[in-house]
Amino acid sequence: MILNLYKKEGETPLERIRRFTTENPEYKNKKMTYAGRLDPMAEGVLIILTDEDVHIKDNFLRLDKEYEFEVLWAVSSDTHDILGEVSVGSRAPSDENIEEDLGSWQGKIELPYPAYSSRSIKGKPLWVYAREDKLAELEVPKKTMNIIDIKFYDSKEVKGDILLNYVKKRIETVAGDFRQHQVIDSWQRGLKETNANDFKISRFKAVVASGTYIRSLVVRMGEKYHTKALAWSIKRTKVGNYQMTDSVV
């Protein structure tokens, strides 16, 4: 069976599966796997395969995906999203520049894997090296990622104190050990030390080929404008023909 579940922000894919089997006990003894993970701070469509369909997982991993995502400019983190230790700058591109450059992001782009990802190197996922502060001992691999289409919607300004309160509330939804206290302390220090009062958040939508990391794309977007950037939010709205509007919440 193929299940289209909605993974909430703060959940891991395994936590989403556990929540589903708790709510639907008839699935507790079934073989289950997810086809295409979502990071804890990402939400949206999570395809779950059960029983014999677990053997066709690769078919689903190859499907194109659609995302709605927001970019927080002038802030970077070691995870490339809000669940990481941050560094704060002051620059943000204008909406006019974003509109003018949008076409440059379409097509195939070689981007590094996020340091905090499950990509395995020498038998260990990259995030383990990052946690152990050993990334300098290896070369983080790059991957050709394909941005099929990308749209820019709009931007908004958010006060630093409101930004921090929202970060705290969102990180508190995450269970397990994701350095939550350390990360929140980092946000508090970073926002306190900056002279910026307002932070810009821009909203996008992209259709991408399998294997594309939105977090990597966001970091590259920041580099283009000689500034910092992180994925403020990521929502997967479609996997192949499986849409978010049909997902089981």
pLDDT per residue rounded down to tens, the chain (249 residues): 999 999 999 999 999 999 999 999 999 999 999 999 999 999 999 999 999 999 999 999 999 999 999 999 999 999 999 999 999 998 999 999 999 999 999 999 998 888 888 888 888 888 888 888 887 778 888 889 999 999 999 999 999 999 999 999 999 999 999 999 999 999 999 999 998 889 999 999 999 999 999 999 999 999 999 999 999 999 999 999 999 999 999
Q: In this structure, are 133 and 214 located in the same domain?
A: yes
Residue 107 shares a structural domain with residue 178: yes
What is the predicted pLDDT for the residue at 150?
A: 98
Domain count for the chain: 2
- Does residue 16 sit in the same domain as residue 126? no
Which residue among 35, 63, 91 closes a domain? 63
pTM for the full predicted model: 0.94
111 and 207 co-located in one domain: yes
Answer yes or no: do 84 and 54 share one domain.
no
Residue 181 domain-assigned (yes or no): yes
In a domain, 235, yes or no: yes
pLDDT, residue 128, reads: 87
Claim to verify: residue 164 and residue 174 sit in the same structural domain = yes
Of the residues 17, 40, 63, the one at which a domain ends = 63
Same domain, residue pair 88 and 170: yes
**Three-state SS across 41-93?**
CEEEEEEEEEHHHHHHHHHHHCCCEEEEEEEEECEEECCCECCCCEEECCCCC
Distance CA 228, CA 133 (A): 21
Q: Could you tell me if 105 and 225 lie in one domain? A: yes
Same domain, 148 and 206: yes
User: Is 247 inside any structural domain?
Assistant: no
The CA–CA distances, whole Å, from 140 to 110, 129, 166, 214, 224 equal 12, 10, 31, 17, 20
Q: What does the chain come to in residues? A: 249
Note the pLDDT of residue 90.
84
Given this model, what pLDDT does residue 224 score?
Answer: 95
What local confidence, expressed as pLDDT, does residue 157 receive? Answer: 97
pLDDT at res. 149: 98
Instruction: Evaluate whether residue 249 is within a structural domain.
Output: no
Residues 192 and 100 in one domain: yes
Range of the domain at 111: 65-242
Does residue 83 share a domain with residue 49?
no
Q: Are residues 47 and 80 in the same domain?
A: no
Whether 90 maps to a domain, the answer reads: yes
CATH of the domain at 99: 3.30.2350.10
**Residue 24 included in any domain:** yes
